[in-house]
Structure 1
Amino acid sequence: MKKLIGTLIIFLLFLTGCSNAVSTKNEKTSEGSKKLQIVTTFYPMYYFAQRVAGNSANVELLVPNGAEPHDWEPTAKDMAKIQDADMFIYNSRYFETWTEKVLKSINDTNLNVIEASKGIELMDALKSEEEEEEHHSESVSSKDPHVWLSPVLAQQEVDNIAKALEQADSKNKDQFEKNAAALNSELADLDRLYKETIEKAQKKEFVTQHAAFGYLAKQYGLTQIPIAGLSPDVEPTLGKLAALTELTKKDNVKIIYFEELTSSKVAQTLAKEIGAKTEVLNPLEGLTKEEQEKGLDYIDVMKKNLEALKLSILE
């Protein structure tokens, strides 16, 4: 009986979400044509899509800022939003691992599904021993999806999103092209800033809370040393922590980087053990409340990340 009631509640939530999404989908532009309704998964996808779309589409964020997206899964209401959108944009099936299941369970006949990282050669995942044991049979854990943290690869994601928007709404093609070019120009400037700064680096290694910065490190000739693997919630074994303590002491590591959307306990423990300081290195999986209040965006946070990295690589 409880299961039946639970099923009915989910069904009613789904219907409510559908009716709300339909009313949004019928919104008109000032010229009278219907605006594209775009649903994106987490912050970088939302930021890229919003910048490209401008005022010519409604862009919605599914994973709320402040939430940790690795373990996030959509509710019935979220599924209704996806089904009733014109376009659904996600980063990769290796990050939003729930997408395949959701798309199979909804009627997506009229839904344009965009995998923003399509065409980018993904690196093999750098997983912890714990993740190897837990996910050794799951292909979703085999690749590193954090491509948005490279300003160069981010431009490819912007291009993929722009092409999809141009095909879906040809009347606004020129505007989408112009917006994408402007954003990619900013990303190119960001790339140059990283290059010019990191070329002066005396050290190439930096220690992170989880293995999110592989693409950024590869782009600029750096080496990330992660405490955990792809998932920030998986804590290292005592043996791994001891080995990291020995390595970081030997290399005279002065900074241990953590992220604000997950617990910094392990990073703080390692830093205390070796007499190092801790600093934020944001994987941009979502903005913090403070960043939102300050009006910061992807470009701003990436610049803050570079300033934080300088503490490790420039002496």
Structure 2
Amino acid sequence: MIKQRIIVIIIFIGLLLNTIGCSPIETEESANNNEIIAYASVYPIYDFAKKIGGERINVKMATPPGAEPHGWEPSGKAIKEIEQSQVFLYNGLDLDPWAERIGRGLKDKVTIIAVGEEEALAPMIIKEGIGSYDPHIWLDPIIVIEMAKIIKDVFSEVDKENQNYYEENFNIFQSKLYELDKEYNAALSRVKNKNFIVSHGAFGYLAKRYGLNQITILGLTPQGEPSPAKLVELTTLIKKYNINTVFFEHLTSPKAANVLAKETGINVEVLHPIGGLTQEEMDNGEDYISIMRKNLTHLVRALD
């Protein structure tokens, strides 16, 4: 009799422990499973999404720090991680064609937005050549406000309970962008020279916004060497416009800029396109706003 009671007690305890073990106690791991994950194809989209999403959205960047975004392709592992997200934001305009390919297969699973191709930005697209677009829309702070609105609307739709949170973050970011725009207007309206030379023609939107003339060595191609005929043309323009600096990018070879500088005796300086940041820059807290301000300093020094 005692033995039977002991068996009953053991069974009861076992059932109790099993019930407790199966109860929906939310651990840190299970709580994390409820978070909203958003992937951004390139750094500018990532930075804007981080500023809008704040602590509510886990924003991740597909292109690794230090990688030049033109021509970068994701690994199979990276694609699988993107497939597990709730939101996928990419630039479009042929900057990240891999993202468009991935997006076609995820339409029914993930909220996908080609931020640079949204209708609100279409009138501001600068066309170069036949059927080719300059994808570097983020280098105009006023266009960035429109990009941020698009991202804010996406997050508000995916996470309706926190719409006010995303709206507040957007308003803060918008104020900083308007301030940046004022700084650019004030500084560049006073410079003597309105012409600048870059190896990679990423600054067309910036030039258009602030009344400057961008002259490129390689056009929209970030890598390569100028032909002898191109060097002659650029040398003539340097003399005509009294240009003293040629700009290059930190993530690409300065060879094209150095060739021109050697031929003409002008200075070489970095102008950051912000398409990608190094890990060191990110660790040091650099972001879109801080680098745009450094770009302004470099431009004013070259154009004064």
> Which TM-score applies when normalising by structure 1?
0.82
How much is the aligned-residue C-alpha RMSD, in angstroms?
A: 1.7
Q: Which residue of 2 aligns with 1:9?
A: none
* Matches of 2:206 and 2:54, distance apart in 1: 27
Listed as ranges, the gaps of 5+ residues in structure 2 are 1-28
* Matches of 1:252 and 1:228, distance apart in 2: 20
Counterparts of 1:127-146 in structure 2, within 5 Å, are 139=131, 142-146=132-136
1:202 equivalenced with 2:178 (yes/no): no
Q: Which residue of 1 aligns with 2:26?
A: none
Change (3 A) 1:27 1:167: farther
Aligned letter for 1:58? N
Aligned letter for 1:110? K
Give the drift of 1:290.
4.2
Aligned letter for 2:94? Y
| Per-residue Cα deviation, 1:55-100 (whole angstroms, up to 9, x for no partner) | 0011100111211110101111111122111000011242112222
| Per-residue Cα deviation, 1:87-132 (whole angstroms, up to 9, x for no partner) | 000112421122222223x344120001212121311126xxxxxx
Q: Which residue of 2 aligns with 1:192?
A: 182
Give the drift of 1:54.
0.4
Give the drift of 1:147.
0.6
* Matches of 1:57 and 1:261, distance apart in 2: 28
* Matches of 1:156 and 1:244, distance apart in 2: 35
Q: Which residue of 1 aligns with 2:254?
A: 264
| Per-residue Cα deviation, 1:198-217 (whole angstroms, up to 9, x for no partner) | 11121111101111000000
Q: Which residue of 1 aligns with 2:146?
A: 156
Matched-pair identity in %: 37
> Which TM-score applies when normalising by structure 2?
0.85
Listed as ranges, the gaps of 5+ residues in structure 1 are 1-25, 127-135
Contact 2:195 2:241 in 1 (8 A): no
Q: Which residue of 2 aligns with 1:169?
A: 159
Contact 1:90 1:114 in 2 (8 A): yes
Contact 1:116 1:158 in 2 (8 A): no
Give the drift of 1:250.
3.0
Counterparts of 1:21-170 in structure 2, within 5 Å, are 28=31, 34-104=34-104, 106-117=105-116, 118=118, 119-120=120-121, 121=123, 122-125=125-128, 139=131, 142-170=132-160
* Matches of 1:176 and 1:190, distance apart in 2: 21
Q: Which residue of 1 aligns with 2:12?
A: none
* 2:38 alignment partner, SS class: strand
Give the drift of 1:27.
5.8
Give the drift of 1:185.
0.6
Contact 2:93 2:134 in 1 (8 A): no
* Matches of 2:99 and 2:106, distance apart in 1: 13
Count of residue pairs brought into register by the alignment:
272
Q: Pick from 298, 303, 314: which aligns with 2:293?
A: 303
Is the deviation greater in 200-209 or in 301-310?
200-209
* Matches of 1:159 and 1:301, distance apart in 2: 21
Instruction: Provide runs of 4+ in structure 1 moved above 3 Å.
Output: none
| Per-residue Cα deviation, 1:279-311 (whole angstroms, up to 9, x for no partner) | 110000111344234321110000000000002
Aligned letter for 2:108? T
Contact 2:39 2:62 in 1 (8 A): yes
* Matches of 1:285 and 1:54, distance apart in 2: 21
